[in-house]
A = this chain, B = another copy of it.
Amino acid sequence: VTLSLTPVRGVPLIKPGDNLAQLILDALVRAGFILTDGDILVLAQKIVSKSEGRLVCLRDVIPSPRAEELALVTQKDPRFIELVLRESKEVLRTRPGTIVVEHKHGFVCANAGIDHSNVSGTDGMDGDEWFLLLPEDSDASARHLRDMIRQLTGLEVGILIIDSHGRAWRLGTVGIAIGIAGLPGLVDLRGTQDLFGYTLKVTMVAAADELAAAASLVMGQAAEGTPVVHVRGFPYPLREAELDELIRPHEMDMFR
C-alpha cells in the first residue's frame, strides 16, 4: 500500500528524433529497476517535446500585429508572443511579464507552456533564441510511449506526461498532467461510502494531477537530469483515459 516515487537516473540528454521509450528502458535497466505490470512512468514534458522536435527558433518567427500589441502590454518579445498565440485558443489575462492563455489542448496556463530551451550540444542549433513548444498531442505522445514499451517488454505500464503550472491564488508551481495513457485522469468516488456508510455526493479526485504533483516533487526543477520518475503503488485501477476529463468545461468556469 506504499506509493513510491523514484527518479530514474541516467536518462541521456534527449535530442529530436530520439527513441524515448528505448532510452528510458535502457536507463531503467542500468539503474536496476525491474519494471512490472501496473507501474507508471512519469515524464517531464521537456523530454517528450524535444524528442518530437518541437523546438522553434525566434529568428524564424514573424509576429502578427496582435502579437506586437500584446508584446507591448506583457513586455515580452513579440516573436515569443506570436508562438504563444499560435499554441492558444484564447488569451485570458495579460500583465507586464505575464500572459495567461487557454492552450489549444484546453488547459489554462502561462506562456502556453512554452519554455526557453537551452540547446547546447545539439548540432546546428546553437544560440539563445530556441524555445520548446508542448507536444502537438500529449495524449497521443503518452499512448505512443505506452505502446512502444508494451511492444519492447510485453508490460502494461501507465504513462503520464507532466508540466509545472502556476495557480490562480497560490504561489509556486505544481506538477500537472498534460498527457495520459493507461491511468485515470479523474477518479469518481460519487456513490461510494465513507466509514460511516455516508454516501459521498460530490467527490471527484484529480488523481493524475495528484500523481503529477508527487512526481514533480521528486524530479526537482533544477536538474533536467531526472526527467523520468518510476511510480509503484498507484492506488486506483488503471484504465484508458484522456486528459480531456481533467479540463473544466467553459460553462462551469467561473474565473475566465
Contacts and interface: CB of A to CB of B under 8 A. Distances in A.
A253 B166 CA distance: 12
Q: How often does this chain occur in the complex, in copies? A: 2
A6 B3 CA distance: 6
A211 interface: yes
A168 B253 contact: yes
Interface stretch (A18-26, A140-148, A150-158, A189-197): A189-197
A255 B168 CA distance: 6
A45 B214 CA distance: 19
Contacts of A211: 214, 217
Contact of A214 (B100, B168, B214): B214
Interface of A: 1-7, 13, 93, 95, 98, 100, 107-108, 118, 120-121, 164, 167-176, 185-187, 189, 192-196, 198, 200, 203-207, 209-214, 216-218, 220-225, 234-235, 245-248, 252-255
